[in-house]
Amino acid sequence: MSEIFHTRLQSGNNSYRELFKRHPSNPILTARDWPYPANSVFNPAVTMYEDKVLLLARVEDRRGFSHLTKAISQDGITGWQIDAQPTLAPEPEIYPEEAWGIEDPRITYIEELEQYAVTYTAYSHGGPLVSLALTKDFSTFEKLGPIMPPEDKDAALFPRRFGDKWVLIHRPIPASYGAAAHTGAHIWISQSTDLKYWGDHQILINARKGGWWDANKVGLSPPPLETPAGWLILYHGVRQTASGAIYRLGMALLDLENPFRVLRRSDEWVFGPTAPYEREGDVDDVVFPCGWLLDKTSGQVKMYYGAADTCIALATATLSDLLEYIKRCPEPKAEDYLM
């Protein structure tokens, strides 16, 4: 039996092993790489497209508004071909909920539809909400518009139906973060028969309370990853400190046939901001992945993430290590969480 993988970082203590290893070329993409002026590039969705790695990056312009731009690479590290203009831009004249930009996409390939589903956050004076677009080629998109009311974000679809229902993970929040600090901003799960109207809402993963790293506010990071052991979930937890918020990542495992059932949840965070490009930027102390890829041949998982809301970085892990770790984590205990 292999060793138990600990994920905490302790200076000078080599007995702790990180599950995710940062790529030595990090950050792999910054605003300096972009073919047009941008303030920052971060929080990319990712998928394989025509045997290449495709990122759909959030690009913040110098007004402060965001759009999504495609970058393609053969190896997912170098040689990026970046669209010369926004790939998916806000259209406030048609979709007023996009008046202040679109942000933080997640990509799920839906085999039944033979299309890629892109969930993203549309932002306006009404607050953030979840919108959905479909595409076959990442050149033309069919926008379905909002699928959740504000305030809601951090959404991703499962790649297949369960029975006759599509399933969406998302994170509604109270009207203000101040309220969230008291009542909690949790990860929810919902169902739909048509991808437009959603119901059967219930909390999937609660924000814990007290001193936990994921107290008060949690949200989905990449889309769920299907494994033989269940759906692997990577989520972010936000800890408020005297000097600001820290965004770290934890894991959970959902039942393969009933994703409403949480089998395991990590007590510790498994990845957090420690590198200089993660600790200092437009928003300090943030690691925020919106996509990951599994190479089924090698078992390698590539996690693409935004670092400090400023650049794009890459970390890798092996699926066997991730599953071994999460299987050793405890079953969720209701008394640990805000209700």
Residue 333 is predicted with a pLDDT of 75
* Coil/strand/helix, residue 3: coil
- Tell me, yes or no, whether 339 lies in a domain: no
End-to-end CA distance of the chain: 38
- Tell me, yes or no, whether 12 lies in a domain: no
Residue 261 is predicted with a pLDDT of 97
Extract the tokens encoding 10: 């302790």
**Residue 204 belongs to domain spanning:** 21-330
Largest CA distance in the chain: 59
HEC readout, the chain: CCCCCCCCCCCCCCCCCCCCEECCCCCCECHHHCCCCCCEEEEEEEEEECCEEEEEEEEECCCCCEEEEEEEECCCCCCCEECCCCCECCCCCCCHHHCCEEEEEEEEEECCCCEEEEEEEECCCCCCEEEEEEECCCCCCEEEEECCCCCEEEEEECCCCECCEEEEEEEECCCCHHHHHHHCECEEEEEECCCCCCEEEEEEECCECCCCCCECEEEECCCCEEECCEEEEEEEEEEEECCEEEEEEEEEEECCCCCCCEEEECCCCCECCCCHHHHCCCCCCEEEEEEEEECCCCCEEEEEEEECCCEEEEEEEEHHHHHHHHHCCCCCCHHHECC
Residue 177 is predicted with a pLDDT of 47
244-260, pLDDT tens digit by residue?
999 999 999 999 999 99
Across the chain, mean pLDDT equals 92
- Tell me, yes or no, whether 7 lies in a domain: no
Residue 335 is predicted with a pLDDT of 58
- Tell me, yes or no, whether 197 lies in a domain: yes
- Tell me, yes or no, whether 145 lies in a domain: yes
Total tally of structural domains belonging to the chain? 1
CATH of the domain at 298: 2.115.10.20
In the chain, which residues have pLDDT < 50?
1-15, 176-177, 179-181, 337-339
- Tell me, yes or no, whether 16 lies in a domain: no
Residue 332 is predicted with a pLDDT of 86
* Closest alpha carbon to 24 in 299, 307, 313: 313
- Tell me, yes or no, whether 113 lies in a domain: yes
- Tell me, yes or no, whether 44 lies in a domain: yes
pTM metric for this prediction = 0.93
